[in-house]
Amino acid sequence: MSKVFTITEGLENMGALRTGGQGSVYKGRRYGPIITAVKLLPTPIHTESTDDKNFRNFQNEVEKLKKVNEEPNPNVVKILNSGITESGSFPFIEMEFIDGPDLEDLLKPPHEPIFTIKEIIKLADQLANALSHCHKVSVKHGDIKSNNVKFNIHTGNYVLLDFGLSAMSDDQRRTSIRHAGAIEFMAPEQNEGLMYFQTDVYSYGVILYELIAGQVPFPLRDNGETSRNAVMLAHMESPVPDVMELRKNNLPESWTEKKKEHEMLVPAWLLQIVAKCLKKDPDDRFADGIELQETLMHSSISAVSNNQGDDTWNSSVLLKENERLQGLLLYYQEAENNKAVQPVITEGAAKPVDDGKQVRMSKPIFILFMFMLCGFTVFSAVVLSKYGDKIYHGVYSRLFKSSKKPVDSTKNVILPQKKEPEKQQDTTTPANDESGIPPEVDSQADSILKGMKYKKSGKEEPQFYRDSAKTKDTSNLNF
């Protein structure tokens, strides 16, 4: 670890993270617990004046970099500050510190030399998102390589780091690339110090190639000048080796045969994107990260659509079905919650409709009412247990035992009760005994007999038939 010194006021150097010809990255700390990463550029700026070309170029590039963070992106490092160091007058760019390994570390032991298809597609999507984000604000990165892409262990995202090369002038960039750049990831045009949006696209293709094959297309055997020139020339002239053949040779021995077979099924659309990114001529590549991201998204969706066997299937159908399932989930969750918890009406929420059938009662009155009801129930039980028999017999006598005298149904007058002489009880019932005949039948019979007598004599008898003809034989009458 290097000696601790102050980079600038309020920013303390906590030691070097990585050093190189294109600049060094230090771990910095603001006063307090905030940890940052500080990129020191190798070319000093002696005069902080617009008359100094290097300072002017640095300021212009830093202004572009600030646009990167105007809209936050989870796959692009946040640029916090920039300036000139107090000692040495080196320009620096201060960025957020990403805690986690970079891709270069993830491809070394104890990790596997290649990525799984699932993880390759994840990184391809997130890194394309980072490039698209930068290119929308006209910022070219210029130094995309495996140790400038980190895996954030706290978020699970891949993050693009180190915009130091983009802050250099063309002359500084050309000198830095020839002598200290990561030549394995550089596009052919960078040998001449040129940098386009398509340059970042080429480096993107090299990273994906490395993850699929387990090595870059043109590896650097050593850091000698001869090896570096050979790699530069290969990028400009040599065809890209078969990536799937390299993947097959680098499959980990610890994988099962079934997993090896599955991991050789790299999607054709992904291989086509990598091949286009690695074209020698910039015009044959994707124009920028925006086009790259759109192609990646549409290719992956089309691949899923073709596997369905239905030409009408598309992403909009999938999104609608997802929304429908989410709606059903929310409905059932709400219904389940309503079973256990009484809904609370908050201010501004819709109130229940009063249909006139509801009775509202305050809590104190409800408690008093229930207390009185319980008291009345106990009182009723005591009274009935003590006076129940008397009350029952009194009510029964009043309702069911009549004290009225017999009433004639024809004249509606009260008939005097005749006292019949007591007769000796006979076990047989006479034929003309009328005691068992209902009053209404008796009355109707009297009327019929009276009418028959009137027809014979022509005179109306004042008495009922049973009173005037008690001794006559009525057995021959039919009615």
Residues 162, 143 contacting (CB under 8 angstroms): yes
Report the range out of 35-44, 96-105, 162-171 with the highest average pLDDT: 96-105
Domains parsed from the chain with CATH numbers:
6-306 (1.10.510.10)
CA–CA separation, 178 vs 40, rounded Å?
A: 19
Cα–Cα distance, 77 to 158 (Å, whole number): 10
Residue 160's nearest CA partner among 270, 39, 73 is: 73
Longest Cα separation, the chain: 163
Q: Are 64 and 137 in contact (CB under 8 A)?
A: yes
117 Cβ neighbours under 8 A, 6+ residues apart: 262, 263, 265, 266, 267
Q: Tell me the two tokens of residue 154.
A: 């706290």
Phi-psi domain of 328 (left: phi exceeds 0; alpha: psi -120 through 50; beta: other)? alpha
Mean pLDDT of 437-448: 60
**Whole-angstrom Cα distance, residue 18 to residue 98?**
14
pLDDT higher at 137 or 88: 137
Tell how far CA 75 is from the center of its chain: 23
364-394 tens-digit pLDDT: 787 887 878 888 787 777 777 777 666 666 6
Q: What is the pLDDT of residues 53-70, one digit of tens each?
A: 778 777 877 777 788 888
- Which segment, 226-235, 326-335, 422-431, is predicted with the most confidence on average? 226-235
Q: pTM of whole model > 0.75?
A: no
Element (H, E) at 12: strand 11-18
92, β-bridge pairs: 40, 83
CA angle 433, 439, 445 (to 5 degrees): 70
Q: Is the dihedral of CA 328, 332, 333, 334 positive or negative?
A: positive
Q: In the predicted model, what is the mean pLDDT of the chain?
A: 76
Distant-in-sequence, close-in-space partners of 228: CB < 8 Å, separation ≥ 6? 183, 220
What's the sign of the alpha-carbon dihedral 195, 7, 180, 235? negative
Mean pLDDT across 353-371: 70
* 10-45 pLDDT, tens digit each: 777 777 776 665 567 877 877 667 788 888 877 777
More confident residue, 167 or 48: 48
CA distance 210 to 115: 9
Conformation bin of residue 418: beta by default, left when phi > 0, alpha when psi is -120 to 50: beta
Asked if 286 and 292 touch (Cβ cutoff 8 Å), the reply is yes
Number of H helices, E strands in the chain: 14, 8
Residue 264 confidence (pLDDT): 96
Report the alpha-carbon distance of residue 124 to residue 127 in Å, rounded.
5
Instruction: Write down the pLDDT at residue 303.
Output: 73
- CB contact burial 191-225 (16+ within 10 A = b; e otherwise): bebebbbbbbbbbbbbbbbbbbbbbbbbeeeeeee
Which backbone phi and psi does 143 adopt, to 5 degrees?
A: -145, 50
User: Rounded to an integer, what is the distance from CA 384 to the centroid of its chain?
Assistant: 65
Residue bearing tokens 């980072």: 130
Q: What are phi and psi of 53, to 5 degrees?
A: -60, -45
Cβ-contact 123, 39 below 8 angstroms: no
* Cα–Cα distance measured from residue 144 to residue 201, given in angstroms and rounded to the nearest whole number: 9
30-44, 105-119, 361-375, 399-413: segment of lowest average pLDDT? 399-413
**pLDDT score for 274:** 97
